[in-house]
Amino acid sequence: MLLKVKDVKEVLAIMGEHFPGNTEGCEKVGLLDAVGRIAAADIRAAVDVPGFDKSVVDGYAVKARDTFGASDSLPALLEKAGEVLIGKDAGFEIKEGGCAYVPTGGMLPPGSDAVVMVEDTEDLGSGTIAVYRPVGPWQNTIRRGEDISAGQVVLKSGTRLKPHHVGVMAGIGLEWVEVIRKPRVSIISTGDELIRPGKELRPGGIWDINSYSLAAAVLEDGGIPLLGGIIRDDRSAIREKIEEALEDSDLVLVSGGSSAGTRDYTAAIINDLGKPGILVHGISIKPGKPTIIGSVRGKPVIGMPGQPVSSLVVYRVVVSPLIRRMAGLDERQKEPVKAVCDENYYSAPGREEYLMVMVYRGEDGKLHARPVPGKSGMITTMSGANGMIVIPKNKEGLYKDEEAEVILL
């Protein structure tokens, strides 16, 4: 069967039409579990912050007008009414000609409207405080609600929450926050030759790479990977596992069942499970041409190439944007960079090629990209690369010293 391939732009448009984004709603999580999550709604303060007028220095709370004209030669003499303890209500009022000691962060007693720094005062004994510098109204204070007022939006919907955002939420008294639910992604590896890492390698067998590399990529993109294990090349076993995965997850990745060979059943199973079934069977990229994208019960089911590098390229190009969209993240994980090619590289026209490269900074201070050699299936292609160059399908490769755009991995 010949694959009716589509280019990457067409594929992304089809996926955008059928799988527009997060449809699974949101959930409440504790503040410490909120880091890296996406706020599902605007976060508003229920109270003023601070909730009282407070001092920003150690000093004496006063009526500002009582200090006007104070100087070293003619200080203002005020009567000390008491002391304010940090975290406590003053319990008394400042009257004309009075003052009270207040620590940094302490609550201003009613009647006061400024704080004189302690170094601008002198305790003369018998409850008399000399003030040598005048202060203006509300000097050395933060007014109630000056930082955040009740009802104010402190974090907008769609914000990716970081440690300082957690501090803001704690500062307005929140214990829980509503975030977009992480997409659950089932990963199924198919193939009689696959063996779980940690098990003894039998003759002709290979360890399962894709389950783990894809799971790590899903984690990086804000999803929850669900490893479905290794399924033998048996149509009914693969179908049963896909149906099970559809019940448990929002998206299903099937590794190893995407080529048009006689033992690869993914496409037929997707069509059997319901309409619309197969949306794409073949993408005009190298590596990764025999990729399947289908829709079953409104959920994406994607047949990934079994070859590890091809699988990761397909993931980066078409799967990553989908998972990130479902998770409420920007579809592009990293901005591409410009790098100088170290050598000539021939690419057969007709397919968009993703060339694995090692990006490094050269002695000239510029970023350089060195193609990573490797035959199909060699895992050193992955270990030696930290980027991909996209070679358009109508371009016959790259010239040495040509500047190219690199997607960092």
Which is nearest to 340 in space by CA: 317, 356, 362, 318?
362
Q: What are phi and psi of 285, to 5 degrees?
A: -135, 160
User: Mean of the pLDDT values across residues 313-333?
Assistant: 90
Model-level pTM? 0.81
Is 337-408 CATH 1.10.3080.10?
no
pLDDT of residue 384: 86
- Please answer whether residues 372 and 309 qualify as being in contact, where contact means their C-beta atoms are separated by less than 8 angstroms: no
User: Mean of the pLDDT values across residues 178-199?
Assistant: 92
Query: 183-221 b/e with 16+ CB inside 10 Å = b?
Result: bbbbbbbbbeebeeeeeeeeeeeeebbbbbbbbebbeeb
Query: Does the pLDDT of residue 134 top 60, yes or no?
Result: yes
- The sign of the torsion formed by the CA atoms of 372, 377, 382, 388 equals positive
Residue 372: Cβ within 10 Å count: 20
CATH for 54-142 is 2.170.190.11
User: Mean of the pLDDT values across residues 137-151?
Assistant: 97
Is 8-25+182-326 CATH 3.40.50.300?
no
Amino acid (1-letter code) at residue 5: V
Distance CA 379, CA 197 (A): 15
User: Mean of the pLDDT values across residues 56-68?
Assistant: 98
Is 27-48+148-180 CATH 3.50.50.60?
no
Q: Over the chain, what is the mean pLDDT?
A: 92
Least confident of 5-14, 217-226, 253-262: 253-262
Tokens of 22: 């997060």
Q: For 3-22, write each residue's pLDDT tens digit.
A: 578 999 999 999 999 998 76
Report whether the peptide linkage leading into residue 287 is cis, meaning its omega lies within 30 degrees of zero.
yes
Which is nearest to 356 in space by CA: 293, 304, 308?
308
User: Mean of the pLDDT values across residues 281-291?
Assistant: 91
Residue 250 — very low, low, confident or very high, per pLDDT cuts 50/70/90?
very high
Q: What is the β-pairing status of strands 128-131 and 76-83?
A: antiparallel
| Domain regions of the chain by residue span | 8-25+182-326, 27-48+148-180, 54-142, 337-408
pLDDT of residue 263: 41
Query: Does the pLDDT of residue 100 top 50, yes or no?
Result: yes
Query: Does the pLDDT of residue 406 top 60, yes or no?
Result: yes
Least confident of 13-22, 183-192, 233-242, 256-265: 256-265
pLDDT of residue 375: 65
Query: Does the pLDDT of residue 60 top 80, yes or no?
Result: yes
Query: Does the pLDDT of residue 229 top 50, yes or no?
Result: yes
Q: For 328-341, write each residue's pLDDT tens digit.
A: 888 876 788 999 99
pLDDT of residue 332: 76
Query: Which alpha helices (H) appear in 228-319, and where do they start and end?
Result: 235-248, 266-273, 308-314
User: Mean of the pLDDT values across residues 157-171?
Assistant: 96
pLDDT of residue 383: 81
- The answer for residues whose C-beta is within 8 angstroms of residue 200's C-beta and 6 or more apart is none
Least confident of 37-41, 95-99, 353-357, 374-378: 374-378
pLDDT of residue 1: 46
Residue 323 — very low, low, confident or very high, per pLDDT cuts 50/70/90?
very high
Tokens of 170: 């704690």
User: Mean of the pLDDT values across residues 123-145?
Assistant: 97
Beta-strand runs (E) in 37-94: 43-44, 54-55, 59-62, 76-83
Q: Which residues pair with 46 in a beta bridge?
A: none
Distance CA 12, CA 204 (A): 37
- The answer for residues whose C-beta is within 8 angstroms of residue 19's C-beta and 6 or more apart is 295, 300, 322, 325, 326
- Please answer whether residues 8 and 114 qualify as being in contact, where contact means their C-beta atoms are separated by less than 8 angstroms: no
- Please answer whether residues 151 and 44 qualify as being in contact, where contact means their C-beta atoms are separated by less than 8 angstroms: yes
How far is the CA of 35 from the CAs of 136, 163, 224, 377, 387, in angstroms?
A: 42, 6, 15, 37, 27
- Please answer whether residues 407 and 316 qualify as being in contact, where contact means their C-beta atoms are separated by less than 8 angstroms: yes
pLDDT of residue 262: 34
Residue 384: Cβ within 10 Å count: 16
How far is the CA of 320 from the CAs of 183, 186, 214, 220, 239, in angstroms?
A: 12, 14, 10, 9, 24
DSSP secondary structure code for residue 387 in this structure:
E
User: Mean of the pLDDT values across residues 319-326?
Assistant: 94
Q: What are phi and psi of 10, to 5 degrees?
A: -65, -45
Residue 25 — very low, low, confident or very high, per pLDDT cuts 50/70/90?
confident
